[in-house]
Amino acid sequence: MLDAAEAVVVKQGIGNLTLDAVAGAAGMSKGGLLHHFASKDKLVEAMVHRCADQWRAHVLKLYEREPAGPGRMARVLLAHIADAKAWTAQCQQSSSAVFAALVQDQRLIEPMRAVYGELRLRLAQDKLPPGVGETVLAAMDGLWLYRVLGLATVDQELMDRVRRVLEPLLGGPGKRKPRSRRPVSIAAPARRSAQRPLKKRGVSR
């Protein structure tokens, strides 16, 4: 039923998200749909909760797999755009739920805000230089808006370019940039002893 609701939003537009349309897409009667969701608010609320729960579970699964160290959460976010097909499917689901909530009742979007807040908190604890984590998150949000609003074509080529630019800012897991040190000079006497003695030149008169 929730899949059917998302399909209605994607194929027919958010304005056509009605209980009748969802029941038809799900192949059931409106009465059967109302048995599970007493109102459209309840249906949209369930869409948002499912999207938020799946988003959180997916991110946490990747986070547990990622080696500890500075940039751990940021690397997880960049892993989202390694597969354009999977990322597009996630965008479709999240955009359907978000826009349905915004149109129906903005308070219904709170579960998505809660997950987003958790991601921002983990990024703040990522031990990256100031601004790096925010840059990664802003790039991800930009790609999402490109896709769901149709502002630009988001394909694997674009996503790979974004990753190539951002990944060097994160460094490897557990690695730190080496401290800059002044070169240690070899003892001066040892160098002088290897030099040839200067010959005295006669002074021409």
Give me 158's structure tokens: 């674009």
b/e code 37-63 from CB counts within 10 Å (16+ = b)? beebeebbbbbbbbbbeebbeebeebb
- How does pLDDT run across 42-99, given as a tens digit for each residue? 999 999 999 999 989 989 999 999 999 999 999 999 988 888 888 888 888 888 888 8
By the 8 A CB rule, do 47 and 94 touch?
A: no
Mean pLDDT of 182-204: 45
- How does pLDDT run across 118-173, given as a tens digit for each residue? 999 999 999 999 999 999 999 999 999 999 888 999 999 999 999 999 999 997 55
What is the residue type of 163? R
What predicted TM-score, i.e. pTM, was given to this entire model? Answer: 0.75
pLDDT of 86 reads: 86
> Residue 93 and residue 19: Cα distance in Å, rounded?
18
Structural domain boundaries in the chain: 40-171
pLDDT of 172 reads: 59
Residue 183 has pLDDT above 70, yes or no: no
pLDDT of 80 reads: 85
Length in residues, the chain? 205
> Residue 162 and residue 158: Cα distance in Å, rounded?
6
Residue whose structure tokens are 């070169």: 183
pLDDT of 124 reads: 93
Give me 115's structure tokens: 């997950």
By the 8 A CB rule, do 59 and 116 touch?
A: no
Q: What 8-state DSSP symbol labels residue 131? A: T
